[in-house]
Structures are given as C-alpha cells and as structure tokens.
Amino acid sequence: MKLIELLLITSEHRNMYIWENGEIIAQYDGRDSIPEELNDREIELVDCSGDSFHVYLIAE
C-alpha cells in the first residue's frame, strides 16, 4: 500500500507520524502536513494504537 492510499482513508483528527529507518521523517498534527513527495512511498507497517497513527515506510 502506498502512503497516499492510507492518507485518503484515515481520520484528520488523529496525529500521524511517518517513520523511516527508526526516525520520524514527517508528521501531521493538524498544523504540519506530510510532504507530497512521500505520497508514492510504500508502507511496511501501520500501528494505530492509542491516539496516533505510526506509519513505517519501506526504506529506500
């Protein structure tokens, strides 16, 4: 699944953190947006426990 596909179906009322290689590379928190250049990246894992989505991308 690509990141854009997930972004289109997730709630905008939860924080989302995008991870790559053990680091947060982007986040959405109602103010900050996720850079468009990440839209075509493939997702390895999504953890949606708690109040936030943690999205782990496959490393390039």
- The model carries a pTM of 0.90
Higher pLDDT residue, 29 or 6?
A: 6
pLDDT tens per residue, range 17-60: 999 999 999 999 878 889 999 999 999 999 987 889 999 999 98
Q: Does residue 6 have a pLDDT over 80?
A: yes
pLDDT tens per residue, range 30-39: 788 899 999 9
CB 49 within 8 A of CB 57: no
Q: What is the pLDDT of residue 43?
A: 98
Q: For the chain, give every domain's residue range.
A: 3-57
3-state secondary structure the chain: CEHHHHHHHCCCCCEEEEEECCEEEEEECCCCCCCHHHCCCEEEEEECCCCEEEEEECCC
